[in-house]
């Protein structure tokens, strides 16, 4: 990372899987602009893909268009992402537990998110 100054950028997308490609490009451009490592950009894209895919796939009980805001920020030497949506509440810090050997396919994405990020936080009802 080049700068320790606070830098922030925001992107708004709709609640469709097709919109997620915009997020990948947003993270890539942000990373390149601010000199982030390829690993940091890849990890952030992986985590945002998982979180947004879950939000879009399971968070909306209707077919209406909803808006999701993705904020990226460099705060000191930390890359911070913030997602805001009006989907059903879901705390990503608490992935479903269970014996990994007996799990059905899928459901491991939140484990990756929690493993790749230094900190994951959740606030409902802001």
| CATH no., domain 7-116 | 3.30.565.10
pLDDT reading at 64 higher than 50? yes
**What backbone phi and psi angles, to 5 degrees, belong to 99?**
-70, 120
**Which tokens belong to 16?**
């469709």
Each residue's pLDDT tens digit, 67-108: 999 999 998 889 999 999 999 988 777 755 555 454 444 567
pLDDT reading at 2 higher than 60? no
H or E element at residue 8: strand 7-14
pTM of the model: 0.82
Residue 120's pLDDT band (boundaries 50, 70, 90)? confident
First to last CA, the chain: 30
**Which tokens belong to 83?**
């997602």
- Domain positions in the chain are 7-116
Average pLDDT, the chain: 86
**Which tokens belong to 30?**
């942000």
């Amino acid at each position: 990372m080049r700068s320790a100054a606070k830098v922030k950028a925001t992107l708004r997308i709709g609640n469709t899987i097709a919109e997620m490609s915009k997020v990948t490009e947003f993270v890539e451009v942000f990373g390149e602009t601010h000199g982030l490592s390829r690993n940091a950009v890849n990890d952030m894209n992986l985590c945002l893909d998982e979180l947004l895919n879950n939000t879009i796939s399971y968070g909306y009980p209707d077919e209406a268009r909803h808006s999701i805001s993705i904020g990226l920020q460099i705060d000191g030497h930390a890359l911070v992402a913030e997602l805001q949506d009006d989907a059903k509440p879901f705390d990503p810090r608490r992935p479903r537990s269970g014996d990994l050997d007996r799990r059905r396919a899928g459901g491991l994405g939140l484990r990756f998110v929690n493993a790749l990020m230094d900190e994951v936080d959740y606030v409902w009802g802001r």
